[in-house]
Structure 1
Amino acid sequence: MAEDDSSLSVEPDVSADWHRLAPMALVFLLLTAVQKFVRENLFMFAGAGFGVAVFDWISLREALLIACGLGLMGLVGTMIFHRRFRFRIEDDAVRVRRGLLEKKELRVRFARVQSVQINQPFYFKPFELVRFTLETPGGQEAEVELPGIPRRLAEQMRDHIVGLRRVQASQTRPVDVAAEQAQVPADPSGGDRLYEASTWRLFRHGLSSNQIWLLAGLAAWFFGTFSEQFGAWADRQGWLDLIDASVFQSLWLLLGALVVFGLGFLLLLSGLLSIIRFHDFRLSDLEDRLVGVGGLLNRQEQTVKREKITGLTLKQSGLGRLLSCWHIVVRQTSSVEQEMPGKKKSFIVPGLNEEDLGLIGALVPGWHFPERQQGIDARFRQIFWRRTAGLVFAVLGALVWFKEPGALFVSMVLIALLLMLAAIHLRWKQWGWSLDGRQLWIREGFLGHHFDVFDLDRVQQVQLRQSPYQRRHGLANLVLVLPQGLVTVPYLPVDEAVRLANQAIHSAETAALHRV
């Protein structure tokens, strides 16, 4: 896209012309299409033996021809989509035309944008191209995605959206371009540096994050699926008859060693993935916005307006408690009832120590970590203890009545019961809440910690729920509907729950500005 000297002004490159994506955007679109196809069809081909049945039905050459045909169709479709993709930057909005068989036009006003992301995959870097993404309140996915546009144009749009560069058309005074540019740092992370994450902190974040369990689940699923299919195929080939039976004598020892090795490998992989995702992470404060920059293969810059922040989530897993590792998720408006904080689009501050929690006040001025919190009623623990123990003893009694179980089986059941009762106690002990002015803190968790904090004027709906047991004992569950989802405080005294509900409604109704 040709630019003259006028593009150096403080305004974004507003033009009435429609622009195309760069040719390198084809790489991104093709990789995205392949990723989507694999994600949607992986379980169908890998699960239930369907993949093995298909390859038994057709030969390898036919499978390669089918794969080439599908790849060619995907390439042609991607080229058509790329050719029809157009975007235009207006004074206060961006307009996008796209579609493969059906053309669609979308116009998004900059005032509605709550988050801006600029990603630069490694294959875009030599060409100074980026992927520009806009998110609006209530959207499950990115509202606007422009892959393969010049970095200069993306940065101009970003600065215009966050309010650092304003359209000067309505002003009669001349604009001092040099002075305006001096106020806007060329590097978005060049403001007040709030936090930097070292490589060890990022590795520790990967060790303590919940993605280790996701990797373990995927590994177990793949091992279970493909080992069964490989065993059946090896049996048909007659390979199992060639194995000496003495090999199976140390099978349990081998399985134990594989589990330990696999767990260590997954921990290492989780730490390395965290380093790749957040490499050289820097969090900066540019007055009315927060900017997080990090990433190795995909350098990502996330910009969030402070006025669009609806809350914070502080998380520390069970392993994170041993490593003293926290991370913060900046919450924004979402149409998903329970948004996953670990989603890729989430604004995450990784690898925090205990002493770094003072960063909360820098993210949202006036907020600070509470010193004390109130717990919930002990009847939460009592009722679940009774129900769990009653169910276990009922099942055990039925087994004793119809068939006398062995002492080992009964001992294992009793040990499992004790573990469940201990888990209920830990769950009850982690519940808590604290009201600090207008900020409500809610704590939950099991082995780790999970804190949610938000202003009461963010509450959109309040619900008080009571079971028959709770009504008899004067208790209630307080459910608050927020722009980012639901939060619940169970087993509160009714008077306390009503007071919090009324205070939340009053704060929302008297708020000077609804900042959703």
Structure 2
Amino acid sequence: MTEIESTWKALPLSAVGALYVNGIQRFIRENLIAFFGAGTGFAVSESLGWREFGLGAGLVLLAGLLIALVYHRRFRYRVDGDSVRVRKGLFEQQEIKVRFERVQNVGFSQPIYLRPLGLTRVTLETPGASQTEVSLPGIASGEATALRDLISGAAGRRADSDQSTDSDDAERTEAEPAAAFEASAADLFKYGMTSNQIWILLAVFGAPASSWIESRVSSWIEQLSASGLLDMEMLRGAPLMLALLVGLLIVSVALLLMALSGLLAIVRFSGYRLVRETDRFKSRFGLLDAREKSLKLSKLHGIQTVQTAVGRMLGQWHAIGHQTGAVALEGAMNDDRRFLIPGIDNDRLEGVVGTLRGRSWDAPAWQGIHPRFRSMLWGRTSVAMVIAALLVWLLLPGHVAWPPLTILGLNLLILGLIHLHWRRWAFAHDGQRMRIRSGLVGQKIVEFDLASCQQVAISTSPYQRRHQLASLTIRLPHGEQPLPYLGREAADEIANLLLYRAESSAKHSL
């Protein structure tokens, strides 16, 4: 195993390329939706011309290279016996020190452009940090592995083992733990189709794609009309047929985006493998960017399972292991801090959750929230929609009936969705462990030990006080979890139980 010298060191010169590519990727990721989603990029390119646009892009790339060179020159890191320190900054240099016992996740990332250089990107995450606290953008792979083992406490154990078995080192290899879960390409494809990544793609490519589709459809219609295969007068006289054609076009685009999202998921999570070691979980995945993420068992404070609306039709879930401070990030392009397990089907869901939990749990039956939650939303929504319908009917000339009737029909649809939302809300606990379910067509289930609760708040509105109801907000190490519209006695009982378990638990930590 590579030894780590306790001296200030610079990144390898070849890491300049990694810094440059990382900066370009971060710039694109942070500005892609705003730039292309609204069609701004195409508008600017058309107003300035592609030549000027390309010149500006070249200047930006050159500026990025200069920034990468300066950042590399000022970047230094040092690994001591119990901590790692980093000095960085372009104009104002800052020094960060992180003790090993505070590190809850050591992340490895080796994009395809780092593999020929033998470099690995290492990230260290600590509780409470809103972002990755320490990032080494490109160090030797052997040194990265030694740093991971040093942080996990395995370095000393392996050193002792090596001294006692030097003669067998050439013949003995470390056994790889059996996989607790593996996702096939088909599982990952279905995960991509069911994930929220499709909405990211729609936001990014929606505006430019809509312009291209509009021009292509107009051209096809003109060609079909000129050839006599399509009668435009017939379409104008058959609005339902025209609506059907538009609907088919929308469905086709949606299916295309879902397929693209599925392919991206295969590339991102290719070869996904989850293993459990002595004190942590590790996941390895990635085709173009080989990654390794770890999750300490002592830092696992909650398990979240998610099934989207499309995932419910395909029987697909994904799970998230929540750590301290790692608030769930729903955006598919900004979820690097989540310990994500993708592509879980219905048959393997309980096995994966049991593996993360570390034991079996005979969960009690679900208990729903009070029906007055639904009644309150029904009343507010209906009043607002009826007022809107009356205003439209009064303001339109001739008192046309169909616009207000459309609004009332939309109100019925919303009332149905409210009913589904109310039915999805539920909770269950056995005095030691709790799970909370929410959602609409899809569902999200959060499971945690009662002892992991940090704070619980009881809130009551005037409506709730009138009907002896209350809502709970449970603060967990990874974020808040609401539980609305319980009976007041039940809310007080759950709140007292949460506080009692937290205060009496020897393992409770902030």
Superposition TM-score, scaled by structure 2 size: 0.87
Q: d(CA) in 2 for partners of 1:374 and 1:87?
A: 53
Counterpart of 1:33 (choices 6, 20, 23) is 23
- CA-to-partner distance for each residue in 1:302-336, whole Å, 9 max, x for gaps? 11110011101011111111111111100011275
Q: Percent identity?
A: 37
Deviation of 1:138 (Å):
1.0
Match of 2:71 in 1: 81
Contact 1:308-1:515 at 8 Å conserved across structures: no
Match of 1:331 in 2: 322
Match of 2:473 in 1: 479
Contact 1:307-1:515 at 8 Å conserved across structures: no
Establish whether residue 440 from structure 1 lines up as the match of residue 440 from structure 2. no
Match of 1:176 in 2: 164
Contact 1:14-1:91 at 8 Å conserved across structures: no
Matches within 5 A, 1:82-481: 82-166=72-156, 176=164, 186=174, 190-223=176-209, 249=232, 255-334=246-325, 339-340=329-330, 342=332, 343-356=335-348, 357-366=350-359, 368=361, 370-403=363-396, 405-481=399-475
* Cα separation, partners in 2 of 1:219 and 1:368, compared to 1, 3 Å: farther
1:446 partner SS: coil
Match of 1:5 in 2: none
Counterpart of 2:489 (choices 472, 495, 511) is 495
Contact 1:132-1:147 at 8 Å conserved across structures: yes
Q: Which amino acid aligns with 2:339?
A: F
Deviation of 1:156 (Å):
1.6
Single out whichever of 265-274 and 398-407 deviates more from structure 2.
Answer: 398-407
Deviation of 1:428 (Å):
0.3
RMSD between aligned alpha carbons? 3.2
Count residues in correspondence: 490
Match of 2:238 in 1: none
Contact 2:393-2:400 at 8 Å conserved across structures: no
Q: d(CA) in 2 for partners of 1:193 and 1:63?
A: 50
- CA-to-partner distance for each residue in 1:237-277, whole Å, 9 max, x for gaps? xx99xx78958946867644432321121011111111111
- CA-to-partner distance for each residue in 1:361-383, whole Å, 9 max, x for gaps? 22122353625110000111111
Deviation of 1:200 (Å):
0.9
Deviation of 1:415 (Å):
2.4
Gaps of 5+ in 2: 236-241
* Cα separation, partners in 2 of 1:52 and 1:222, compared to 1, 3 Å: closer
Deviation of 1:431 (Å):
0.5
Deviation of 1:18 (Å):
2.1
Contact 2:390-2:404 at 8 Å conserved across structures: no
Q: Which amino acid aligns with 2:290?
A: R
Gaps of 5+ in 1: 1-7, 232-238
Q: d(CA) in 2 for partners of 1:450 and 1:124?
A: 37
Q: Which amino acid aligns with 1:217?
A: A
Q: Which amino acid aligns with 1:138?
A: G
Establish whether residue 20 from structure 1 lines up as the match of residue 10 from structure 2. yes
Q: d(CA) in 2 for partners of 1:341 and 1:309?
A: 21
Q: d(CA) in 2 for partners of 1:151 and 1:414?
A: 63
2:116 partner SS: helix
Contact 2:162-2:169 at 8 Å conserved across structures: no
